[in-house]
Chains A and B, each alone.
Chain A
């Protein structure tokens, strides 16, 4: 039975399915789906604890330290607490949309992990358009968030949802253009292939691309300093003001799962994915993802929040031109410099990135935005 299955699938796409799959496509699908969900969930819970402890350290306090050893069970205790909460639906809410929103927001985040290689070849589907798939799926969460904001019939929620749409539409551009630089060098859209070509991590070959991708990703997943849509001090909690109980927990999970997903993508694209000496590959992957996540936490505790028009200005006047320039420079380098001299390219690119960022930050001014009424 399994044998037959395997034959059918391999006739359809002989290239992407390695012949040594244990038990054929459906087994592979099942096993990896379970692995991904378990892995992502445990990673998200671990990172929640990690963020709270790291943030507490930076803020001169202790953080959770009571439940379990060193407070490691705190996320689980929180999850139980949230599960026991009353589930409130506002009277004027659009009930169906209100119910659907958390699921619509959460599903795409899990889907991203389908194409991320945890180690060589260890991924649900080695799509040959992997990174395109990521870019497409990652922005779907926004739909869920907008549904949540719209259906709550709360003014703060609508404001938050509108801010999110604006931010994602703007930041998708530099994000994808930064990816394009990586794709040009690696010559493949498959994430596994991209990792395999990274003899030098692409953060060195594409420093500007990394910079742009990191901050565009922060804006895309609403991490600080671009966490406008939930801006605690302005619009209370933005799109999930009205949510409680398990539905709120879903949004909370989305927030962290997105951060983990983006950290994983950054790891795969720029930090050499699972590659590294001494440690087993999957551990390297987790360590690198954790490091990227740590930088996000660091930024979150350090910087104030940008305003919505400043957010737009940064996207269109700062990130977008730099992303285009980065793409052009990378293209020229690919054309005229053979890959034989990668270290020369590393030096040149780091130099160019430094000069461009300094140049732009000198002429780029944000602020001063009163509207005459």
Chain B
């Protein structure tokens, strides 16, 4: 006798420990298997793009901190690059190097959180994320030294950075650079060949290469699917053409590959920081920029490789002190495009870790 069964709807989120904020997945379940899924977002919408129109160009920088609050430096950098491109401002050498160092540190910090949260979603009871947070603290200490803040730095300015770093910064950074590879090795030793982690994440949530490209994914999600695409190489901005580094890619595009790509990227970021530390010149850290920038009429799109993917700022200027229109291409949002295809057919437990492996920040998704 066949039992009568029927699918039932389950609301995962918006208040759920593993939705990394206020994401909501309306899942239709057949037992434990997800047969349909509808991502719902917008719970954290603050209208950042509209707010930009009422602020001066410089006044918008603190708001970029609050986009992806785990990677504030990268957001600062992307926005400043866009305005500089629009107004034709040249940034001093030392500021360029400081920006690169801080952006790469930020990438490491963001990836640490991404990996830790991913393992937390896998069910490793808080241990990995606490280890990762321990190292992230050291990066935050460095940021605090430079900017006085630990989360929303508001450090970069149009035409440079707000102030030069103190004398202790570079020695402290050097100490960090000595320690960090050992810690990455430690994580690798503990996690890389963990049987349960492999069982849970290998082959789970495969994002095929063509789907990844078609859905506009970028960052570790795209590279995990085996596409060698990194804006630092493909469209070098700032001074990234001066550094040697590799682009790690995955093979299958599963959750495990995305995790692997992040670990390797941390190593590459350390390489970049090392080169930047050797090359950094003395000099001014900020170009002579008027207090109120009046960029010429026109439009510009500047993009960087943020920790989560391609972060772009599109600005239309009408020669006033505020942008006429500003749009943010948020990698977190666009990486979610293929979420439904990736999750359908997997169980709830898998859905959580597939979602975790994409690594989003809700503040950036909803803006």
Contacts and interface: CB of A to CB of B under 8 A. Distances in A.
A61 to B, nearest CB: 6
A305 B122 contact: yes
Contact of B345 (A55, A58, A370): A370
A236 interface: yes
A235 B120 CA distance: 13
A19 B165 CA distance: 84
A305 B17 contact: no
B126 to A, nearest CB: 6
Contact of B199 (A61, A232, A306): A306
A159 B348 contact: yes
A225 B131 contact: no
A219 to B, nearest CB: 13
Interface of B: prevailing SS:
mixed
Contacts of A305: 122-124, 196, 200, 349
Contact of A155 (B8, B126, B346): B8
B44 interface: no
A159 B8 CA distance: 11
Given A233-B18, A304-B122, A367-B202, A373 B348 contact: no
Interface in B85-135: 119-127, 130-131, 134
Interface of A: prevailing SS:
loop
A304 B57 CA distance: 46
Contact of A371 (B123, B345, B352): B345
B204 interface: yes
A309 B16 CA distance: 23
Given A232-B17, A307-B347, A309-B347, A227 B123 contact: yes
Interface stretch (A109-117, A192-200, A295-303, A326-334): A295-303
Contacts of A301: 125-127
B350 A233 contact: no
Contacts of B134: 60
A366 B196 CA distance: 9
Interface string A260-291: 00000000000000000000000000000000
A224 interface: yes
Contacts of A139: none
A156 B15 CA distance: 13
Contact of A59 (B32, B123, B131, B200): B131
B344 interface: yes
Interface string A48-85: 00000001001111000000000000000000000000
Given A155-B8, A159-B348, A310 B199 contact: yes
A234 B202 contact: no
B122 to A, nearest CB: 4
Contact of A308 (B32, B124, B194): B32
Interface in B1-42: 8, 10, 16-18, 32-33, 35
Interface string A157-201: 001000000000000000000000000000000000000000000
Contacts of B17: 232-233, 236
B125 A224 contact: yes
Contacts of B349: 228, 231, 234, 305, 307-308
A368 interface: yes
Contacts of A224: 123, 125
A367 B199 contact: yes
Contacts of A59: 126-127, 130-131
Nearest to B32: A308
Interface in A318-373: 366-373
Contact of B33 (A227, A234, A304, A371): A371
B203 A367 contact: yes
B145 interface: no
B213 interface: no
Nearest to B202: A367
Contact of B196 (A60, A227, A232, A306): A306
Contacts of B127: 58-59, 301-302
B239 interface: no
Given A233-B18, A234-B18, A369-B347, A304 B130 contact: no
Nearest to B35: A373
Contacts of A302: 124, 127
A235 B122 contact: no
Contacts of B18: 233-234
Interface in B233-262: none
Contact of A233 (B33, B123, B196): B123
A159 B130 contact: no
Given A58-B127, A234-B352, A373-B35, A366 B344 contact: no
Nearest to B197: A304
B198 interface: yes
Contacts of A306: 196, 199-200
Contacts of A368: 202-203
Contacts of B33: 371, 373
A307 B126 contact: no
Contacts of A60: 130-131, 134
A1 B35 CA distance: 70
A304 B119 contact: yes
A233 B35 contact: no
A25 to B, nearest CB: 45
B227 to A, nearest CB: 22
Contacts of B196: 225, 303-306
Interface of B: 8, 10, 16-18, 32-33, 35, 119-127, 130-131, 134, 194, 196-200, 202-204, 344-350, 352
10 contacts: A159-B32, A231-B123, A234-B123, A234-B348, A235-B348, A303-B124, A305-B123, A306-B196, A307-B200, A373-B33
Given A59-B126, A159-B348, 14 more contacts: A60-B130, A60-B131, A155-B8, A224-B123, A232-B17, A234-B18, A234-B348, A304-B124, A306-B199, A368-B202, A370-B203, A370-B204, A372-B345, A373-B344
Interface of A: 55, 58-61, 155-156, 159, 224-225, 227-228, 231-236, 300-310, 366-373
Task: Enumerate the 8 nearest inter-chain pairs by beta-carbon distance, A residue then B residue, closest first.
Answer: A305-B123, A304-B122, A367-B199, A304-B124, A233-B18, A366-B199, A59-B130, A370-B345
